[in-house]
Amino acid sequence: MFHFPLKSLAWVGAGLCIIPITAVGVAAVGGTFETWSALWDTVLPRYIWNTIQLSLMVAIGTAAIGTGAAWLVTMCRFPGSRVLEIVLALPLAFPAYVLAYAYTDLLDHPGAVQTALRAVTGWGPRDYWFPEIRSLPGAALMLIFVLYPYVYLLVRAAFLRQSPTAYFAARTMGHGPWSAFFRVSLPVARPAIAGGTILALMETIADYGTVAHFGVQTFATGIYQAWFSMGDRAAASQLAFCLMLTALFLVVLEARQRGGAKHHQAGNRIEAMTVHRLSGWRAIAAIFACLVPVLAGFVIPIVVLLEMAISSGQNPFAPRYIGFVQNSLTLAAIAAVLTVVGAVIVGYRVRLAPGKAATITKTLSGIGYALPGSVIAVGLLVPFARLDNAVDAFMREHFDISTGLVFTGSIALLVMTYIVRFMAAALSSFDTGMSQIRPNVDAVARTLGATTLVMLVRVHLPLMRASLLTAVLIVFVDTMKELPATLILRPFNFDTLAVQAHRLASDERLAQAAVPSLVIVAFGLLPVILLCRTIARTQQMREPLQPQIPLPIEA
């Protein structure tokens, strides 16, 4: 039997995931008061205020767009609504920093929009006012355009699970569509709205590429500047500690909302909730409302990036770019496989021996999803740098051999960071697949004499093939898009597509940054396509129920 190694490996995985929290906490608490005082007197208030403003803007924007779009495509029918229901998820393929590069090229002073404006009106550069895209509101817009699908997908699922009875009862009692929406549908979907918004906020506080490109100073940019520009590791650790506390606070909120959602579901099956068939100006308004976020978050930036890539005259198959692609694919493949293996070990431990210890192991293993990449990077770099130095000193003293920087000088630490960061996503996919396998399958396998390992390899893994492939794909793509951790931990002269795009954009070579950015987006489309197929399947499941819905009541 393999119970003991399985338990041990599960605890090893959990231990790796809590190292960043422990290391950052110890470094922050162990720092001097003078460092805290210097931070408070200089940059900390600005970081706090900018992070709060950015978070509020993103929260309001993602909640409004995501909820409104979900309501329109699930509760209304208008021309193109079924297509829009699918394509509203497409902006998930874009990292926010790539969107920032595209809109900077489009809306900056030398960009196409302002150039056309001056050509048409004959104005000079000082004759008109134009909104500054490189600003805090501009960064918020970029994040809203790529993060609203978090809210949209969760709220759409909540609307689909609602029973239409309460809504129709409200309409029968004389409430109009808006009144019924705010009094019935919105309260039921509130946990989903809050959960999606909190997920968007986690991504917001973790973002580095967008705010750095727009010159907005937040905790994420402060950590990087303190570490590399000033060489102050104590300040970087203390800033990471502040950011970590914020992220953990959001985790608690998200968990409470997820728990509260269990008490609001009126049904557990997909029902046809279409209660309005829109036509005329109402249909046009609905199409416009759903089309704007898709155009702004996907179509326009794709067109801009393609134009930039073509105008740059760069060969995407040049050896230089092939090297960036190889580095990105190597890191992503290694991280994806190891992360999914870790998720299988931790998740299978819970399957075999559910209990408090297994639950704690799983919770600790998944905590990394809430931590920004920069926090995990700092949290792993501090202890492993000391370990590298200790091992090298020991080998020099006893064997006269220098081992060098085994962890911090290679991709090993970077891969560990990806594992910690994306373990939760892999665990989620594993749980989805495992939940579809009945416990009596385990009993039958044990009756036939199968050991734990044999049962996993020959029974469970084949049945979970689709879920595991989905987990590999999600971690693979998220690894390719990850920027702050890669910037901090990458070995010397080891650049990925994300790092190269960031470097070129930082040097204002936006046209050259378009090529690696497009490759990142192309890979990002893969899980989104799977998601779109899932949405299409739910449409087919709802279709047979359509005739059972009463005719819509006009507003």
pLDDT at residue number 175 = 65
Nearest one of 273, 243, 257 to 150, comparing CA atoms? 257
Measured between alpha carbons, how far is residue 217 from residues 37, 131, 245, 489 in Å?
A: 19, 19, 18, 21
pLDDT at residue number 95 = 92
**What distance lies between CA 192 and its chain's CA centroid?**
17
Reported as a pLDDT band with limits 50, 70 and 90, residue 38 is confident
Residue 259 has pLDDT above 70, yes or no: no
242 CB contacts (<8 Å, ≥6 apart)? 44, 47, 48, 219
- pLDDT (mean) for 449-473: 79
- Whole-angstrom distance, CA of residue 418 vs CA of residue 434: 23
Q: Which of 400-404, 515-519, 533-537 has the lowest mean pLDDT?
A: 533-537
- Whole-angstrom distance, CA of residue 344 vs CA of residue 431: 9
Report the half-sphere exposure of 127 (CA within 13 A, side-chain side): 8
Reported as a pLDDT band with limits 50, 70 and 90, residue 363 is confident
Residues linked to residue 277 through DSSP beta bridges, in sequence order: 77
Q: Which tens digits make up the pLDDT trace of 376-385?
A: 888 888 888 8
Q: Which tens digits make up the pLDDT trace of 85-134?
A: 889 989 988 999 999 999 999 998 888 888 888 888 888 878 888 889 99
Reported as a pLDDT band with limits 50, 70 and 90, residue 419 is very high
- Whole-angstrom distance, CA of residue 417 vs CA of residue 433: 25
Residue 57 has pLDDT above 80, yes or no: yes
- Whole-angstrom distance, CA of residue 177 vs CA of residue 156: 18
Reported as a pLDDT band with limits 50, 70 and 90, residue 226 is confident
CB of 530 within 8 A of CB of 90?
no
Topology alike, domains 1-30+314-506 and 41-312+528-555: yes
Residue 260 has pLDDT above 60, yes or no: no
Task: Look up residue 410 and give its two tokens.
Answer: 């290679």
Question: What's the maximum distance between 2 C-alpha atoms anywhere in the chain?
Answer: 87
Residue 347 has pLDDT above 70, yes or no: yes
Reported as a pLDDT band with limits 50, 70 and 90, residue 268 is very low
Right CATH number for 41-312+528-555 from 1.25.40.10, 1.10.3720.10, 3.10.450.50, 1.20.1250.20? 1.10.3720.10
- pLDDT (mean) for 428-434: 78
pLDDT at residue number 548 = 37
pLDDT at residue number 339 = 92
pLDDT at residue number 273 = 52
Q: Exposed/middle/buried for 503, CB within 10 Å: 0-12, 13-18, 19+?
A: middle
Residue 290 has pLDDT above 90, yes or no: yes
Residue 264 has pLDDT above 50, yes or no: no
- pLDDT (mean) for 475-503: 88
Reported as a pLDDT band with limits 50, 70 and 90, residue 456 is confident
pLDDT at residue number 274 = 52
Nearest one of 57, 133, 71 to 100, comparing CA atoms? 133
Domain ranges within the chain, ordered by starting residue: 1-30+314-506, 41-312+528-555
- pLDDT (mean) for 277-294: 91
- Whole-angstrom distance, CA of residue 176 vs CA of residue 153: 26
pLDDT at residue number 287 = 93
If you average pLDDT over every residue of the chain, what do you get? 81
Look at the block and give the residue holding tokens 């209304």.
76
Helix, strand, coil content of the chain in percent (nearest 5): 80, 0, 20
Reported as a pLDDT band with limits 50, 70 and 90, residue 2 is very low
At the topology level of CATH, where does 1-30+314-506 sit?
MetI-like fold (1.10.3720)
pLDDT top residue among 198 and 300: 300
- pLDDT (mean) for 66-72: 91
pLDDT at residue number 549 = 38
Provide, rounded to the nearest whole percent, the portion of the chain with pLDDT above 70.
Answer: 86
pLDDT at residue number 546 = 42
- Whole-angstrom distance, CA of residue 67 vs CA of residue 195: 12
Q: Exposed/middle/buried for 300, CB within 10 Å: 0-12, 13-18, 19+?
A: middle
- Whole-angstrom distance, CA of residue 330 vs CA of residue 308: 27
pLDDT at residue number 189 = 77
Nearest one of 340, 257, 318, 309 to 63, comparing CA atoms? 257
pLDDT at residue number 312 = 80
pLDDT at residue number 275 = 63
pLDDT at residue number 163 = 60
Residue 172 has pLDDT above 60, yes or no: yes
pLDDT at residue number 382 = 84
Q: Which tens digits make up the pLDDT trace of 372-417?
A: 888 888 888 888 888 888 988 888 888 888 888 888 888 999 999 9
Reported as a pLDDT band with limits 50, 70 and 90, residue 75 is confident
- Which range among 150-159, 373-382, 512-521 has the greatest average pLDDT? 512-521
Amino acid identity, residue 519? Answer: V
Please list the alpha-helical segments (H only) found in 435-509: 439-447, 452-455, 461-463, 465-481, 484-489, 497-506
59 CB contacts (<8 Å, ≥6 apart)? 197, 200, 201
| Helix pair 510-542, 465-481: axis angle to 10 deg | 150
- pLDDT (mean) for 444-459: 77
Which H, E and C letters describe 129-172, residue by residue?
Answer: CCCCCCCHHHHHHHHHHHHHHHHHHHHHHHHHHCCHHHHHHHHH
- Compute the C-alpha angle 8/12/14, nearest 5°: 115
Reported as a pLDDT band with limits 50, 70 and 90, residue 41 is confident
pLDDT at residue number 416 = 92
Residue 547 has pLDDT above 50, yes or no: no
- Whole-angstrom distance, CA of residue 469 vs CA of residue 546: 34
